[in-house]
A and B are shown apart, each in its own frame.
Chain A
């Protein structure tokens, strides 16, 4: 007769067996056919599309993409959580231990709500708005309403580029709302007619073409358009990079080569970025 004691033992052994089986199969799944990419919210939509095309060409491969900001991409790649990082700027001197592979070009544009009568802002005016010296739209020729300043969170390279161009420090900026991903910024602006913010040109164009009521402003007289980023005329442009902690091999290398190849040019242009010709 099987006593309770033995029943318990049998039950726990079965559980352990099932558990190990699960783990084992999961591990096999996980190993070489998986890639994890994290980082910039600017690059993520583009990489998402590239991933979809890649996976349809190579069944059995699974690539996960998550946002979190360029600094997250660098962080995660360094400590191994991500295989490849997405960074929407060039690498800094203290990041020379990482390898960068450019997959597109993009710019940073200041955006307003489409209903805002103000259509041109000079470099000094933008700096004054962000440092709190100008607080009402009427001093710029707009409606009598307080300006709602939208700033990006620390760790986002869009913020770093913005600060660099306007020669400001983050401690000088007086924001009203802090946002993270580009789409969040766009969503905040569309929800608030008196808001001003800055996001990636690709993201802004993408949403504007789908009906979001936003307007991209010219910077220093140069219109914020993909063509101007391509020609180099737009003053605030940046490369979109995939980074790795060591020279990529296997699936990572294959994927990066694919991302930089001619096959992805259409995808890049569909996201309103500028494709690069691979080396």
Chain B
């Protein structure tokens, strides 16, 4: 006699239900994101123009453009990178090449960098204000803001550089040793060039983070929206400009939308470039092994 076994359909229904929920939630996230982008574009696209990018803001930013703001942002970025890159890359080289992973020295450095990575940006602003602006007497200046940003960028630059150096195959180092190259020479002539794309990707990520930063710059580089004449002048970063326009300037919403668009597009380009470099390295790695 044939036995009829009923198939338990419940796991199937449950699976379908979960799939539906997941699709719905993903759709929700995508919809919100599209909404934000659409709002930004609708509010700001008409205001964008070549003049907008070149001219300085007039009438508290309602008229004119963001030229001086872009220059200030660039200068702050340059100061931050000049201060942070040498420190970060030397630390990464040390951690990756010269110090065994379990040493006390290495672990202390890693720990302090990890702590630094989690510090909220407003606390960096507090520190920057107390140390760079008041104690060192730099006042509200691009220099002060840039140095504060440098402190914020250290962890991300170190971790990406270290990862990049570690990713270089061990065979490279062994071959170098076999050829009698000094460790210094190995580092500068072999490892750094090979890891360069990852280092560059980390650099770009750091730049992206720095450009997006607002809270740390509020009390260190100030608010002045004119073209800075020197590093000791106060300068307004792009993110701060958006903040000021949206909060403090009646009628400032349209230029704020336009500035936000510029910022987002800039970050998009930087991120895409960084990703291309990082994935390019992976592909090369696969080819060489």
Contacts and interface: CB of A to CB of B under 8 A. Distances in A.
B188 interface: yes
Contacts of B133: 81
Given A62-B229, A64-B224, A81 B139 contact: yes
Contact of A212 (B226, B230, B247, B250): B250
7 contacts: A27-B232, A64-B226, A65-B224, A66-B222, A66-B224, A66-B234, A212-B250
Interface of B: 60, 133-134, 139-140, 143, 184-185, 188, 222-224, 226, 229-234, 247-252
Nearest to B222: A66
A58 interface: no
Given A66-B223, A81-B133, A183-B249, 19 more contacts: A4-B188, A5-B184, A23-B231, A26-B230, A26-B231, A26-B232, A27-B232, A29-B229, A64-B233, A65-B224, A67-B248, A81-B139, A81-B140, A181-B248, A184-B248, A187-B247, A187-B248, A187-B249, A212-B250
A79 B139 CA distance: 11
Interface residues of A, number: 29
A25 B184 CA distance: 36
A66 to B, nearest CB: 5
A177 to B, nearest CB: 12
Lowest 4 A-B CB distances belong to which pairs?
A: A26-B230, A187-B250, A29-B230, A30-B232
A223 interface: no
Contacts of B185: 4
A6 B113 CA distance: 31
A36 B251 CA distance: 27
A36 B248 contact: no
Contacts of A27: 232
Contact of A67 (B143, B223, B231): B223
A66 B226 CA distance: 12
